[in-house]
Amino acid sequence: MLDELIAIALKAGAAIMPIYERLDAASVVTKGDGSPVTAADEAAEVVILAELARVAPGIPVVAEESVAAGKCPATGSRFFLVDPLDGTKEFINRNGEFTVNIALIENGRPVLGVVYAPAIGDIYAGGEGQGARAAKVENGVVGPWRKIAVRPCPRSGISVLASRSHLTDETKAFVEKFSVADFVSAGSSLKFCKLAAGEADLYPRLGRTMEWDTAAGDAVLRAAAGGVMTMDGKPLAYGKRNQAEDVDFANPWFVAAGNFDPFADVTE
């Protein structure tokens, strides 16, 4: 199924790019929660929902814009999580760091994931027991795949990734616990993918996210031998509904890491 998800992500990217190229203020509206949404979010979701219904008709799909419109299916132990355009602020700012995210969840774990950044031509994919891979995309065609994996933990000074649009004071305080060689801002799920590709060591997110924001990148990172942990050191779980402290599918704070335990390892 991973190859099917890759093909679907490419089709969604093809729906996004014409809108990106002619983006103007009229293309952006604000949702009830104050977050922006564009015609590209909606166009990509239409493509993804139609394609998932074709290739996996029996598996429920939880997709960001559908949930915002009040459409959310019963999920059970196996379902898809979709963010048709992760990093809408990056899209609006035209820096290219937005992604299409598609993940398959089984028993609370992201077991397959695809992250595609159509504006910069990067695609990442990974699956439980399958490893992780990355490739360049040109004119909608995927080039040679290369295997990716997290890098060894450096003996001194780690590389930290942070959200370009959502860097909180709590995140800054957490990072101050470590010896940091460089601190790089990046948008969308590309942060998970950079960890998976061995380009950084730590991505703390002590702020609000939803499951569709993280699932695909989490799947790629886990397949590359990394992990995503909540602040109590447990793996980030998916399919969280009827939460007393928050809405359905809301994530707690988390820390994503390569070959580095942020709750035990301290670099000198």
**Residue list, annotated binding site:** 64, 83, 85-88, 213
One-letter amino acid at 50 equals A
Residues in the chain: 268
Task: Name the more confident of 260 and 112.
Answer: 112
Distance CA 217, CA 103 (A): 8
Q: Where in the chain is the domain with CATH 3.40.190.80?
A: 158-257
Amino acid 267: pLDDT: 47
CA angle 212, 217, 221 (to 5 degrees): 145
- Contact partners, residue 115, CB within 8 Å, separation at least 6: 9, 99, 100, 101, 123, 124, 125, 189, 190, 192, 193, 216, 217, 220
**Residue list, annotated binding site for substrate:** 64, 85-88, 213
Q: Do residues 124 and 137 lie in contact, with contact meaning Cβ atoms separated by under 8 Å? A: no
Amino acid 24: pLDDT: 66
Under CATH, to which class is 158-257 assigned? alpha beta
Amino acid 67: pLDDT: 95
User: Is the confidence at residue 247, as pLDDT, over 90?
Assistant: yes
User: Is the confidence at residue 159, as pLDDT, over 60?
Assistant: yes
Question: Does domain 2-148 correspond to CATH entry 3.40.50.720?
Answer: no
Average pLDDT score over residue span 62-77: 94
- Contact partners, residue 64, CB within 8 Å, separation at least 6: 41, 45, 82, 83, 84, 210, 212
93-143 pLDDT, tens per residue?
A: 888 999 999 999 999 999 999 999 999 999 999 999 999 999 999 999 999
Task: Name the more confident of 95 and 34.
Answer: 95
Distance CA 258, CA 248 (A): 28
Q: Do residues 96 and 203 lie in contact, with contact meaning Cβ atoms separated by under 8 Å? A: no
pLDDT band, residue 30 (cuts 50/70/90): low
Helix-then-strand count for the chain, H and E: 7, 17
* Average per-residue pLDDT for the chain: 91
Of the listed ranges 29-43, 51-65, 90-104, 131-145, the least confidently predicted one is 29-43
**Residue list, annotated binding site for Mg(2+):** 64, 83, 85-86, 213
CA angle 167, 169, 170 (to 5 degrees): 100
Select from 83, 267, 71, 63 the least CA-distant residue to 181: 267
186-237 pLDDT, tens per residue?
A: 888 999 999 999 999 999 999 889 999 999 999 999 999 999 999 999 999 9
CA angle 68, 52, 137 (to 5 degrees): 95
Q: Where would I find the beta strands (DSSP E) of the chain?
A: 28-30, 36-38, 61-63, 78-86, 99-106, 109-117, 122-127, 131-138, 141-142, 146-148, 158-163, 180-186, 202-205, 209-210, 227-230, 250-251, 254-257
Task: Return the residue matching tokens 């989490």.
Answer: 218
- Contact partners, residue 145, CB within 8 Å, separation at least 6: 133, 134, 135
Q: Where in the chain is the domain with CATH 3.30.540.10?
A: 2-148
- Name the pTM for this structure: 0.93
